[in-house]
């Protein structure tokens, strides 16, 4: 068993807005191993994006507060890292793709400068000119070509055209033309036609899909060991969506990165992720291997969510919906947060929060990668209509 | 590159012309200035003629020479005062806007900067500048210092407001996520997006400063006229009182026109700069260097008037979007 890239334990994030406190993320635990794609799915406002930004500590603090929990990234608790040192973790350690393609590129910079900045950061860290760390108190030694020498396959050919990977690491950015060549390679990597032209354009001259791909190129160009993708495909049409997903999967094979994939699209998650966590009102209510969770959901919310997905619509009568609305997270319901909308709810659901426990009672309760559900009546879920 | 907007081009040319004239007057006055500031030329109250383009006054001084001699001083003061305010206010505004986490040292610094700014802004700047000049003693440098003291708070407000609106935009978060340090985010990502309104404001402000300085001089709390260092405001004040305006209108028209033309030139330039500095409209002005649109251009470029100038500007057609 390899060491996990990141282990999130009982993470809680609250927002203090005026006099109110919003419990955006409550007691979320996750473990992501190298090469894994973990999907997080849930409705708007369930805390997905907050969770995504809380891991690299990108939430503005205040108003956000990490109330409790730990985020262990390569042996270091990021919750305790000082703000000064956080930039060293980001980019090359934890990369991120955002969901707003319109505003996530600096309008004042050409595409070249946007991507070149990321490549420079990685390069400077590789060369030891910029401090960086990948965990612990030890600065991460990028000069040991942990990534570049292990590469094989299409992606490395795209990134290092000469093939002489190790030499290239040190000489690659010696001149501007080499930097330009590397930027071009990343643009080709995200399937941008005519990259030489795109290189000199400003973000406002690009379509939403192109901007999204530029952003993905930026994140990939830092070769992060954990890539957090916050709805990276929601602005793209289906064909490009598929390309982007393929691309991200290639990245995993290539650099053995782990991906945390946030989406509200069950189809995208089913296609991309190895394991999925279903979030509701700030909590993970069900977790497990994608196929198991989607074939045999053991939480009433997952069941209803799957039923409401248009892909399941059989053409008989109205599309099914989940009655009620997402609860106000400043006053979350007591006990199980889904109980006001749940047909299985009984007294115990109102009083106590159900733990995220294995569906299979014989399974070891400690394992984080088996099918688990936070419902007291998980055996009854399959019988729901 | 300013050709798409005739008024901006006019302003740009006018500013360039004014600056060249000012430099010439400062370096080699005899080229453009026939008489000294207090040189008697013979006729008094001579109307405008080829020899005396703006006539002469009651002491037979050449008005044109005095207006020209005042140009480097007035222009220099405008640029120096606005520039000093830009630097002081800009730096304070960047700090106050970007490092404002409540409860930290930076947060308290930010609050302090803003409260001091508020205090300065609560005084009418002209009156405050007058009072400070009185305290410091009347001289050109002291007036400049006094105006600068009252002027920088506007830049703090402007820059801080811009920084606040920029620093929460997703691209700043994206830069942070890419591992860019806070200081570098401020200097590279935020500053670059604040520069554009700042430069436009600065350009427009040069005119305002000039008017303010002239006003102080007009009231009489600056250089004396007639004297060795003529200044438009004091010229206006002196000529207004020395002889009936209706009989000798050129005396007040000459310095008044000089102020007017200079201020208008910078205003037009400021408007033009706004279009040039904004990357979203800049492309429309840059001819020839714009790369061909990509193959997937119809979907890649935003619909609307912005897409037009790329193909139109090489033909010399006016910009349909930027003319308003």
Please name the helix (run of DSSP H) or strand (run of DSSP E) that holds residue A275, with its range, or none.
Answer: strand A275-280
Res. A268: pLDDT tops 60: yes
* ipTM here: 0.78
Q: What is the DSSP string of B156-174?
A: HHHHHHHHHHHHTSHHHHH
Greater model confidence, A66 or A316: A66
Q: How far apart are CA B165 and CA B91, in angstroms?
A: 17
Which residues of chain A neighbour B175 with C-beta distances below 8 Å? Answer: 106, 117
Phi, psi dihedrals of residue B223, rounded to the nearest 5°: -70, 150
Q: What is the DSSP letter of A84?
A: T
Name every chain A residue with its beta carbon within 8 A of the beta carbon of B302. Answer: 204-205
pLDDT value of residue A137: 40
pLDDT at B221: 75
**Running along chain B, 324 residues long, what does each successive block of 10 average in pLDDT?**
70 91 88 82 82 83 88 91 94 90 84 92 88 87 90 92 88 86 87 87 90 86 79 86 82 90 90 76 48 42 40 39 37
User: Tell me: the pLDDT tens digits for B72-115?
Assistant: 988 999 999 999 999 999 999 999 988 887 778 888 999 999 99
Residue of A nearest to B292 (CA): A197
Tally of domains in chain B: 1
Range of the domain at B141: 6-34+52-282
Residue A380: CB atoms within 10 A of its CB come to 13
pLDDT value of position B134: 87
- B63-98 and B6-27 are packed helices; what angle lies between their axes, rounded to 10 degrees? 110
Residue B322 lies in a domain: no
> CB B174 to CB A109 under 8 A?
no
What pTM was computed for the model? 0.76
* Residue B235 lies inside a defined structural domain of this protein: yes
Q: Which of A332, A342, A357 is nearest to A20 (CA)?
A: A332
Q: Residue B257: how many CB atoms within 10 A of its CB?
A: 14
Q: Is B291 within a domain?
A: no
Residues from chain A contacting residue B193 (CB–CB below 8 Å): 106-108
For testing contact with chain A, the best of B98, B102, B178 (most A CBs within 10 A): B178
Residue A311 — pLDDT band, cuts 50, 70, 90?
Answer: low
The predicted pLDDT at position B112 comes to 92
Residue B248 maps to a domain:
yes
Q: Which residue of B has its CA nearest to A211?
A: B300
A164: confidence class by pLDDT, cuts 50, 70, 90: very low
pLDDT at A169 over 90: no
CA-based angle A6:A132:A108, to the nearest 5?
100
CB < 8 Å to B299, chain A: 207
pLDDT tens figures, A136-155: 444 444 333 333 333 333 33
Q: Identify the structural domains of chain A with CATH numbers, from first to last.
A: 36-57+77-273 (3.40.50.300), 309-383 (no CATH)
Please, are residues A99 and B182 in contact by the beta-carbon 8 Å criterion? no
| Phi, psi angle pair for A140, to nearest 5° | -70, 130
Query: Is B299 a member of any domain?
Result: no
Beta bridge partners of A14: A23, A65
| Residue B287 in domain | no
Contact A218 B182 (CB under 8 A): no
| Of A293, A109, A276, nearest in space to A202 by CA | A109
Instruction: Kindly report the CATH number assigned to the domain that includes residue B100.
Output: 1.10.3720.10
SS3 A282: coil
CA distances from A181 to A95, A114, A173, A177 (A): 22, 14, 9, 6
Select from A62, A100, A200 the Cβ nearest to the Cβ of B170: A100
Q: Between these two residues, A282 and A160, which has the higher pLDDT value?
A: A282
Q: What is the pLDDT of residues B108-138, one digit of tens each?
A: 999 999 999 999 989 888 888 888 988 988 8
For B91, counting Cβ atoms within 10 Å of its Cβ (0-12 exposed, 13-18 middle, 19+ buried), the class is middle
On whether the CB atoms of residues A250 and A140 are closer than 8 A, the answer is no
Q: What are phi and psi of B55, to 5 degrees?
A: 75, -170
State the best of A73, A83, A87, A105 to mutate against chain B, taking most chain B CBs within 10 Å.
A87
Residue A167: the pLDDT is 44
Residue closest to A7 by CA, chosen among A38, A46, A43: A38
Q: Which helix (H) or strand (E) holds A358?
A: strand A357-358
Residue B90 counted as domain residue: yes
Mean pLDDT of chain A: 76
Task: Verify whether the Cβ–Cβ distance A117 to B175 is below 8 Å.
Answer: yes
Residue of chain A with shortest Cα separation from B279: A108
pLDDT for the residue numbered A372:
83
Q: What pLDDT is recorded for position A131?
A: 59
Share the mean pLDDT of chain B: 80
Percent of all residues in chain B with a pLDDT value above 90, rounded to a whole number: 24
A206 in contact with chain B, both atoms CB, cutoff 8 A: yes
Q: Do residue A87 and residue B180 have CB atoms under 8 angstroms apart?
A: yes
Residue B138 lies in a domain: yes
Confirm if B226 and B255 have CB atoms less than 8 A apart: no
Specify whether the CB–CB gap between A272 and A245 falls below 8 A: yes
The answer to whether the CB atoms of B170 and A104 lie below 8 A apart is: yes
Minimal Cβ distance to A103: which of B169, B280, B301: B169
């Amino acid at each position: 068993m390899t060491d996990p890239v990141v282990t999130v334990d009982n993470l809680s994030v609250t927002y203090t807005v005026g006099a109110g406190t919003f419990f955006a993320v409550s007691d979320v635990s996750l473990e992501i191993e190298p090469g894994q794609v973990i999907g997080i799915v849930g409705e708007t406002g369930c805390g997905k994006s907050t969770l995504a930004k809380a891991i690299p500590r990108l939430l503005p603090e205040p108003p956000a507060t990490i109330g409790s929990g730990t985020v262990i990234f390569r042996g270091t608790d990021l919750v305790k890292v000082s703000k000064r040192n956080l930039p060293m973790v980001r980019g090359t350690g934890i990369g991120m793709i955002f969901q707003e393609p319109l505003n996530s590129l600096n309008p004042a910079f050409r595409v070249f400068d946007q991507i070149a900045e990321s490549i420079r950061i990685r390069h400077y860290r590789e060369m030891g000119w910029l401090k960086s760390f990948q965990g612990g108190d030890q600065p991460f030694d990028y000069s040991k070509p942990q990534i570049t020498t292990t590469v094989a396959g299409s992606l490395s050919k795209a990134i290092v055209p000469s093939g002489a990977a190790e030499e290239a690491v040190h000489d690659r950015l010696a001149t501007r033309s080499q930097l330009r060549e590397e930027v071009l390679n990343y643009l080709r990597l995200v399937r941008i036609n005519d990259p030489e032209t795109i290189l000199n354009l400003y973000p406002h001259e690009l379509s939403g899909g192109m901007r999204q791909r530029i952003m993905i190129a930026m994140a990939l160009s830092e070769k992060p060991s954990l890539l957090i993708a916050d709805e990276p495909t929601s602005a793209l049409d289906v064909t490009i969506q598929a390309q982007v997903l393929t691309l991200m999967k290639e990245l995993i094979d290539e650099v053995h990165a782990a991906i945390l994939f946030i989406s509200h699209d069950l189809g995208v998650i089913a296609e991309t992720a190895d394991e999925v966590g279903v979030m509701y009102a700030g909590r993970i209510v069900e977790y497990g291997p994608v196929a198991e969770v989607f074939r045999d959901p053991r939480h009433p919310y997952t069941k209803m969510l799957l039923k409401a997905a248009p892909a399941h619509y059989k053409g008989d009568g109205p599309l099914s919906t989940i009655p009620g609305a997402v609860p106000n997270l400043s006053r979350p319901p007591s006990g199980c947060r889904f109980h006001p909308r749940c047909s299985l709810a009984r007294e115990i659901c109102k009083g106590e929060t159900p733990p995220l426990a294995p569906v299979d009672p014989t399974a070891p309760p400690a394992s984080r990668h088996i099918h688990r559900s936070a419902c007291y009546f998980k055996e009854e879920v399959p019988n729901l209509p | 590159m300013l050709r798409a907007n005739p008024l901006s081009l006019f302003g740009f040319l006018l500013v360039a012309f004014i600056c060249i004239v000012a430099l010439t007057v400062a370096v080699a006055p005899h080229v453009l200035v026939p008489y000294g500031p207090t040189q008697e030329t013979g006729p008094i109250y001579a109307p405008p003629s080829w020899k005396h383009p703006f006539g002469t006054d009651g002491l037979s001084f050449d008005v044109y020479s005095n207006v020209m001699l005042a140009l480097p001083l007035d222009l220099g003061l405008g640029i120096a005062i606005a520039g000093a305010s830009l630097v002081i206010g800009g730096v304070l505004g960047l700090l106050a806007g970007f490092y404002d986490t409540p409860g930290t040292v930076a947060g308290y610094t930010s609050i302090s900067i803003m409260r001091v700014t508020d205090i300065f802004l609560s005084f009418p700047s002209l009156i405050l500048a007058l009072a400070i000049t009185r305290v410091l003693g009347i001289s050109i440098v002291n007036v400049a210092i006094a105006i600068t003291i009252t002027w920088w708070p506007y830049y703090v407000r402007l820059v801080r407001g811009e920084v606040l609106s920029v620093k929460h935009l997703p691209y700043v978060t994206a830069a942070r996520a890419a591992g860019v340090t806070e200081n570098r985010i401020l200097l590279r990502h935020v500053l670059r997006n604040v520069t554009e309104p700042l430069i436009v404001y600065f350009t427009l402000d040069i005119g305002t400063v000039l008017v303010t300085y002239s006003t102080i001089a007009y009231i009489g709390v600056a250089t004396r006229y007639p004297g060795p260092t003529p200044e438009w405001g004091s010229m206006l004040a002196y000529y207004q009182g020395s002889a009936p305006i209706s009989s000798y209108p050129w005396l007040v028209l000459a310095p008044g026109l000089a102020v007017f033309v200079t201020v208008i030139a910078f205003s037009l330039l400021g408007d033009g700069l706004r279009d040039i500095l904004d990357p979203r409209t800049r492309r429309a002005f840059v001819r020839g260097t714009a790369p061909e649109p990509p193959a997937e251009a119809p979907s890649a470029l935003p619909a609307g008037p912005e897409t037009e100038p790329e193909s139109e500007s090489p033909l010399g057609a006016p910009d349909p979007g930027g003319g308003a």
